[in-house]
Amino acid sequence: MRHCFASAVSAVLAGSLWLVNPALAQGPVQSGPYPSAPVRLIVPFAAGGFTDVVARLLGEKLGGVLGQPVVVENRVGAGSTIGTDYVAKSPADGYTLALISTTHVIAPWLYKSLPYDPMKSFAPITKLVDSPYVLVTNPQKLPAKNVAELIALAKAKPGQIDYASSGNGSSQHLAGALFASMADVQLMHVPYRGSGQALADIMGGQVSMGFLGVTAALPQIRAGRLRALAVTTTQRSADLPDVPTLDEAGVKGYEATIWLGLLAPAGTPPDVVRRLHDTAAQVMQTDDARKALATAGLTLSLDSSAQFGQLLESESAKWGKVVKQTGATVN
């Protein structure tokens, strides 16, 4: 990924965590109290996005408290399902974890079959953060200055306005599909391998618009290289207080929130899940962690393991309905 959602934050955190110990590829051998070996945190997204900010912040701080290195490893592809499948098939011992997003509950509705069950193959640990997307356009390519003008332009040119996303089956993809469905317009989806590449091509004018993380888009919005038309949450973003929500802008009922959470393979011992939950909650609530998250435009949103499991179920039902309504596919 060529652009970082919060480069100033991740640059500080990333240095010591990029190196993956080849010995970890065989998995740790547990001896004594957990953890007695390094822990791997699998990020099923391209490096450099706001997921990296959270992963490396969490990895550094978890490692400090657990007393073992937490190695962050990006395993990318197939709408985040490759990395997630890797974790699902890993030993249920707490040494291989997954940092997941909304794509986790979208994937089963987009793919005809998955090599794992998004609910049954995992033990939920906790949700970590929430964040909105912001609908941005390239002002040199699209003359629309607000959502109403964008919709009017899209209706006049059905299928001719394209939008970039971080990949087929990603939450950015589905946020755009939901917008097109609710606004009754036809848009062309252009998938990329990561949100940084999508951002670069929107800025370069190769693609007209996209639904991007606030942190990545904010510097470009302030510099005038991108135009922010709306945010996807029901409340305005503190980073963009003058930008309306899509609901306010006329797409009534629109809501798409991106969240990140932590999973372990199903069957992980309950005491290990509790240890990971409590430690993650502890380190993410420190002053410097809160500051790093705020810098990245993220809102801390912790919950219990049971609550996170309930969220996965409700989000799956919500996005499954959206996929069916919009006809979104990964092809």
Whole-prediction pTM value?
0.78
Cβ–Cβ under 8 Å, residues 13 and 30:
no
Residue 166, Cβ density class (10 Å: 0-12 exposed, 13-18 middle, ≥19 buried): buried
237-273 pLDDT, tens per residue? Answer: 988 999 999 999 999 999 998 899 999 999 999 999 9
4: confidence class by pLDDT, cuts 50, 70, 90: very low
267-321 pLDDT, tens per residue? Answer: 999 999 999 999 999 999 999 999 999 888 888 999 999 999 999 999 999 899 8
32: confidence class by pLDDT, cuts 50, 70, 90: low
- Quote the pLDDT of residue 316: 95
Q: What integer best gives the mean pLDDT of the chain?
A: 88
7: confidence class by pLDDT, cuts 50, 70, 90: very low
- Quote the pLDDT of residue 53: 87
> Do 7-130+259-325 and 132-256 show the same overall fold?
yes
Kindly tell me if the per-residue pLDDT of 122 is higher than 60. Answer: yes
Q: What DSSP character marks residue 146?
A: S
Cβ–Cβ under 8 Å, residues 50 and 5:
yes
132-256 falls under which CATH superfamily?
Periplasmic binding protein-like II (3.40.190.10)
Domain ranges in the chain are 7-130+259-325, 132-256
> What are the structure tokens assigned to 71, written together?
């190695």
Pick the CATH number of 7-130+259-325 from 3.30.300.30, 3.40.190.150, 2.40.50.140, 2.60.40.10: 3.40.190.150
SS3 content of the chain, % helix, strand, coil (to 5): 40, 20, 40
- Quote the pLDDT of residue 79: 78
Kindly tell me if the per-residue pLDDT of 171 is higher than 60. Answer: yes
- Quote the pLDDT of residue 166: 85
- Quote the pLDDT of residue 261: 97
Distance set, CA 312 to CA 7, 101, 224, 296 (Å)? 29, 10, 37, 24
Closest CA to 42 of 120, 122, 109, 135: 122
> What are the structure tokens assigned to 292, written together?
């790093």
Please list, in sequence order, all residues whose beta carbon lies within 8 angstroms of the beta carbon of residue 120, skipping any fewer than 6 positions away: 266
9-30 pLDDT, tens per residue? Answer: 333 333 333 333 333 344 444 5
Average pLDDT over residues 182-201: 92
Cβ–Cβ under 8 Å, residues 270 and 22:
no
331: confidence class by pLDDT, cuts 50, 70, 90: low
